[in-house]
């Protein structure tokens, strides 16, 4: 069966099985609207499925996915900023209490930081977008010299998450709410090979198993 046919079949099954089971919850979400507590910023990678890996339900996560789970620094100009718009909407309209930036292992965006991409118009926006990873790549090259390439990639994926957290704080509303204590930002790292998630501990500057994190 072709993948697209699977989707059609999948939606029929969803309507008949899952939707019926949670009809009351879905009705409420339609009537009252959404009020998610969490903005999840993840990679567009098809293997990173936010709802699946966190057991989330409709209404739980406001999700922003892009190539490399990058957060561009705040820039007040007249351009089209999709990621920035999603952050602003989540923070200033929905009033989320948490923002998670979730990187992942074997990330193609992080790997491509070490490659030369073809010139020309076909990848003009990809090349520009990946410039957001340059600061991470430079940091890794300077501090992890001599590491095996695969190790370097895993380190790049994790360090990148930390730089994105810094960029989040360039958004005035994010910074203000974090300082007021009503918004918390989290750095996560999902491992494709195990399905486990690590979180960035800003006290020890390490990534630790999320399963071991105390309630906060």
Write the CB contacts of 130 (distance below 8 Å, at least 6 apart in sequence).
Answer: 67, 68, 109, 112, 113, 117
Least Å distance, CB 153 to Zn ion, is 11
**CA 126 to the chain's CA centroid:** 17
The answer to whether 47 touches 189, Cβ cutoff 8 Å, is no
Contact call for residue 45 and Zn ion (CB under 5 A): yes
Contact call for residue 43 and Zn ion (CB under 5 A): yes
Question: Which residue, 164 or 183, is less far from Zn ion as judged by CB?
Answer: 164
Question: Which residue, 106 or 175, is less far from Zn ion as judged by CB?
Answer: 106
Among 64, 87, 107, 161, binds Zn ion (CB under 5 A): 107
CB atoms within 10 A of CB 180: 8
Question: Which residue, 107 or 130, is less far from Zn ion as judged by CB?
Answer: 107
- Residue 158 token pair: 């994790």
> Terminal CA-to-CA distance of the chain, rounded, Å?
45
Contact call for residue 153 and Zn ion (CB under 5 A): no
Contact call for residue 157 and Zn ion (CB under 5 A): no
Using CB under 5 A, which residues numbered 11 to 40 contact Zn ion? none
Residues that bind Zn ion (CB under 5 A): 43, 45, 107, 109
């Amino acid at each position: 069966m072709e993948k697209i046919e699977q989707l059609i079949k999948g939606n029929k099954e969803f309507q008949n099985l899952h939707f019926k089971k949670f009809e009351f919850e879905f009705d409420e979400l339609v009537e009252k609207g959404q009020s998610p507590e969490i903005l999840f910023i993840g990679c567009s990678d098809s293997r990173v499925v936010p709802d699946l890996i966190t057991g989330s339900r409709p209404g739980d996560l406001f999700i922003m996915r892009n190539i490399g789970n990058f957060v561009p620094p705040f820039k007040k100009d007249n351009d089209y900023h999709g990621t920035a718009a999603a952050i602003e909407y989540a923070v200033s309209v929905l009033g989320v209490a948490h923002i998670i930036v979730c990187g992942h292992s074997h990330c193609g965006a992080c790997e491509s930081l070490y490659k030369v991409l073809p010139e020309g118009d076909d990848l003009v926006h990809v090349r520009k977008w990946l410039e957001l990873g340059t600061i991470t790549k430079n940091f890794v090259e300077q501090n992890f010299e001599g590491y095996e390439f695969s190790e370097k990639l895993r380190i790049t994926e994790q360090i990148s998450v930390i730089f994105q957290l810094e960029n989040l704080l360039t958004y005035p509303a994010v910074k203000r709410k974090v300082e007021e204590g009503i918004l918390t930002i989290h750095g996560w790292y999902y491992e494709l090979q195990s399905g486990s998630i690590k979180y960035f501990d800003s006290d020890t500057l390490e990534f630790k198993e999320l399963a071991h994190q105390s309630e906060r």
